Chains A and B, each alone.
Chain A
Amino acid sequence: MGAVRRSFAPWSDPSATPLIRAENVTKRFGDSVAVDNLSVDIFEREFFCLLGPSGCGKTTLMRMIAGFEEPTAGRITLAGKSLAGVPPYRRPVNMMFQSYALFPHMSVERNIAFGLKQDRLPKGEIAARVEEMLRLVQLEKLAKRSPSQLSGGQRQRVALARALAKRPKVLLLDEPLGALDKKLREETQFELMDIQHELGMTFIVVTHDQEEAMTMADRIAVMDHGRIVQVATPGEIYEQPKTRFIAEFVGDVNILEGHVLGQEQGLWRVRSSGAATPLTIDDPDEVLHENQAVAIAVRPEKMVIQRDPPGPDAVNVLTGEVWDIGYLGDWTVYRVKLGSGAIIRVTRANRSRFVESPIDWDEQVYVTFAPDAAVILAE
């Protein structure tokens, strides 16, 4: 997980004070609730991602921090001071807009200088700061151009430079990479992380792209229906999702539905229609009772596919036939149809260039996974 910096975890320090704190914030538009009684702490120097499907309220939360919307209830504080009633032009927060919102009648240079001019800084200082920003985003040569003469990637950089120019305490980024193509998006992710680290600023990014969030964030808040369902590091979100929604939203996952049989030596035994024998799951933190309906989530890369039957001691054996094979170069994806009719996804890293008699379509196969590869999600 990209951005996890060793020993940077202010959220686990109870004495640390957050830079931004949202307390029981609710925002209603007419009858619909965009943000529902939401509380979250964001710390200084943190790279924080708000992740969720469209309409989950992430953009509304960001716009409330920027000052374009006022909460219907609850309050947002910045460095201990309430932001209620403070207009956007008086908040020490800047935003990079999804559409970039570059002023089309101003050159790149004047776009970047706009915020500094509002502060009435001396001319020399403005020029120096603009230059510094242009260097930061590597656009020195395009200073005199107008935004319409720039490529999508260059516009994105101008928007970033303009938002950074005032050195805000917090930079808000609304889908910052949404309009870029895949290659550029990847490069830019790492650039954003470098810039954030270099300037020591707090970044709050709104995105619907889980890969983007996983790569860049120190912590991710997964949002759904106006609430935060889990706030955790990318690793925790991926490996210990709290709910089925998170497991399915972040990455690919196989869900096996079943009923709890009981606990043996700290391991849960679960009967699932997909498997002939009860499954053994190592998820000691869950508190479950007998006969409870549960969902078992297993990531495709944590499953092993094989042609030969596993030994008699093997646990968690599923049988089925190969329904589909997708060769992606680095990975091969197998879609396996189980006896129950459910289709699961298994991925295998292609470690060697040639495989003798590879697994083929319609073949009978065994799929196994280790007890600690799975997570039990209460239904």
Chain B
Amino acid sequence: MTRRLSLFNITSLVLGFAFLYLPILLLIVYSFNASRLVTVWGGFSTQWYVALFRNEALMEAAWVTLRIALLSAALSTVLGTLAALALTRYGRFPGRTLFTGMVYAPMVMPEVITGLSLLLFFVAIGLDRGFWTITLAHTTLTMCFVTVVVQARLMSFDRSLEEAAMDLGAPPLRTFFSVTLPLIAPSIVAGFLLAFTLSMDDLVIASFNAGPGATTLPIKIYSQVRLGLSPEVNAASAILIGIVAVGVATATFLSKRSTLRSQRNAH
């Protein structure tokens, strides 16, 4: 359906997008500011990006963030996929509703509470706060997002494909690896990217569970801003936004395409 947009539609669209994205746009524009004063435009320059890459503290934080994001995304992809399989494949096992609720809870739980409870837990078991505690905390946070994405794909999955594989002599495990896994792979990758971006830009849970020697980029940026605005932070934020945007867009594209393909093959 192609309907022409009325003046009213265009106005509300522009206002809506402006409300959502003007601050971010402003941040990106000012990251190319030649002036040291964040609020005064002094011409175009990429000097703050150069300065950023020379700022060892920020680069160290970025490196830690990247490692945490990759590792926690990998962990939550495995766990989230297994949870999705359990929820779609094993029928109505006892406690299924409880399990569903518990898998999805971190999605709606206030981050402050998730962060705090994890902190208490890590203190209780005597785990030193740092790289590993943030990684585990982020795995807890992002696992449910992987489950949602993979479960959606499994629901539209034609079960007779697996039956056909078994009928042709493939035992269950081989059926999973030769038929199921390749077909749900795009949604698993999408889940991974989603988990990765969520971990990249998380501030609240990370700051609860961070310790000396492991500071993530969002924590670093936040603490720098409290000491005064710096154009370097603008540049770092702009890069972060870029990575997150690419990740989310790819995830959306992958999960859409895999759903479309499964629909096309059903007929």
- Are A115 and B169 in contact, with the CB atoms below 8 A? yes
CA distance A147 to B161 in the complex (A): 13
- With A99-B266, A147-B265, A148-B264 in contact, is A118–B170 under 8 Å at CB? yes
- Decide yes or no whether B152 CB sits under 8 A from chain A: no
- Are A95 and B164 in contact, with the CB atoms below 8 A? yes
Q: Which of A36-44, A86-94, A225-233, A248-256 contacts B (4 or more CB under 8 A)?
A: A86-94
CB distance from A173 to the nearest CB of B (A): 12
- Decide yes or no whether A114 CB sits under 8 A from chain B: yes
1/0 contact string of B130-166 vs chain A (CB within 8 Å)? 0000000000000000000000000000101101111
List, in ascending order, chain B residues with CB within 8 A of A118's CB. Answer: 168-170, 174
- Decide yes or no whether A105 CB sits under 8 A from chain B: yes
- Decide yes or no whether B56 CB sits under 8 A from chain A: no
CB distance from A251 to the nearest CB of B (A): 31
List, in ascending order, chain B residues with CB within 8 A of A115's CB. Answer: 168-169
1/0 contact string of B171-193 vs chain A (CB within 8 Å)? 10010001100110000000000
- Are B183 and A162 in contact, with the CB atoms below 8 A? no
- With A88-B166, A148-B265 in contact, is A101–B158 under 8 Å at CB? yes
- Are B168 and A97 in contact, with the CB atoms below 8 A? no
List, in ascending order, chain B residues with CB within 8 A of A88's CB. Answer: 163, 166-167
| CB-contacts of A40-91 with B (<8 A) | 66-68, 87-90
- Are A99 and B160 in contact, with the CB atoms below 8 A? yes
- Are B166 and A87 in contact, with the CB atoms below 8 A? yes
CB distance from A180 to the nearest CB of B (A): 13
CB distance from A151 to the nearest CB of B (A): 12
CB distance from A120 to the nearest CB of B (A): 10
- Are A89 and B161 in contact, with the CB atoms below 8 A? no
CA distance A78 to B183 in the complex (A): 34
CB distance from A64 to the nearest CB of B (A): 13
Partner of B160, one of A101, A147, A148: A101
CA distance A87 to B170 in the complex (A): 10
1/0 contact string of B40-59 vs chain A (CB within 8 Å)? 00000000000000000000
Interface size grouping (class) on chain A: 20 to 34
CB distance from A164 to the nearest CB of B (A): 11
Partner of B261, one of A67, A94, A99, A104: A104
CB distance from A105 to the nearest CB of B (A): 5
List, in ascending order, chain B residues with CB within 8 A of A67's CB. Answer: 167
- Decide yes or no whether A345 CB sits under 8 A from chain B: no
- With A104-B265, A115-B169 in contact, is A97–B183 under 8 Å at CB? no
1/0 contact string of A9-22 vs chain B (CB within 8 Å)? 00000000000000
CA distance A368 to B265 in the complex (A): 53
- Decide yes or no whether A125 CB sits under 8 A from chain B: no
- With A68-B163, A99-B158 in contact, is A105–B183 under 8 Å at CB? yes
CB distance from A201 to the nearest CB of B (A): 15
CA distance A66 to B169 in the complex (A): 11
CB distance from A205 to the nearest CB of B (A): 16
List, in ascending order, chain B residues with CB within 8 A of A337's CB. Answer: none
| CB-contacts of B217-267 with A (<8 A) | 261-262, 264-266
- Are B179 and A95 in contact, with the CB atoms below 8 A? no
- Decide yes or no whether A323 CB sits under 8 A from chain B: no
Chain A, Cβ-Cβ closest to B161: A101
1/0 contact string of A99-121 vs chain B (CB within 8 Å)? 10111110000000011001100
- Are B168 and A162 in contact, with the CB atoms below 8 A? yes
CA distance A93 to B169 in the complex (A): 10
- Are B160 and A114 in contact, with the CB atoms below 8 A? no
- Are B179 and A103 in contact, with the CB atoms below 8 A? yes
- Are B160 and A97 in contact, with the CB atoms below 8 A? yes
- Decide yes or no whether A208 CB sits under 8 A from chain B: no
CA distance A115 to B167 in the complex (A): 8
List, in ascending order, chain B residues with CB within 8 A of A97's CB. Answer: 160, 163-164
CB distance from A129 to the nearest CB of B (A): 13
Chain A, Cβ-Cβ closest to B159: A101
- Decide yes or no whether A166 CB sits under 8 A from chain B: yes
Partner of B168, one of A87, A94, A98, A148: A94
List, in ascending order, chain A residues with CB within 8 A of B264's CB. Answer: 148
List, in ascending order, chain A residues with CB within 8 A of B163's CB. Answer: 68, 88, 95, 97, 101
List, in ascending order, chain A residues with CB within 8 A of B171's CB. Answer: 87, 89
Q: Which 7 A-B pairs have the closest CB atoms?
A: A115-B168, A118-B169, A101-B164, A101-B160, A104-B265, A88-B166, A97-B160
Contacts A/B (CB < 8 Å), 13 sampled = A88-B163, A90-B169, A95-B164, A99-B158, A99-B160, A103-B164, A103-B165, A103-B179, A114-B168, A115-B169, A118-B168, A118-B174, A148-B265
Q: Which positions in B face A, CB cutoff 8 Å?
A: 158, 160-161, 163-171, 174, 178-179, 182-183, 261-262, 264-266
User: Given A95-B164, A166-B168, 11 more contacts at CB 8 Å?
Assistant: A89-B167, A94-B168, A99-B158, A101-B160, A104-B183, A104-B261, A104-B262, A118-B168, A118-B170, A147-B265, A166-B169
Q: Which positions in A face B, CB cutoff 8 Å?
A: 66-68, 87-90, 93-95, 97-99, 101-105, 114-115, 118-119, 147-148, 162-163, 166
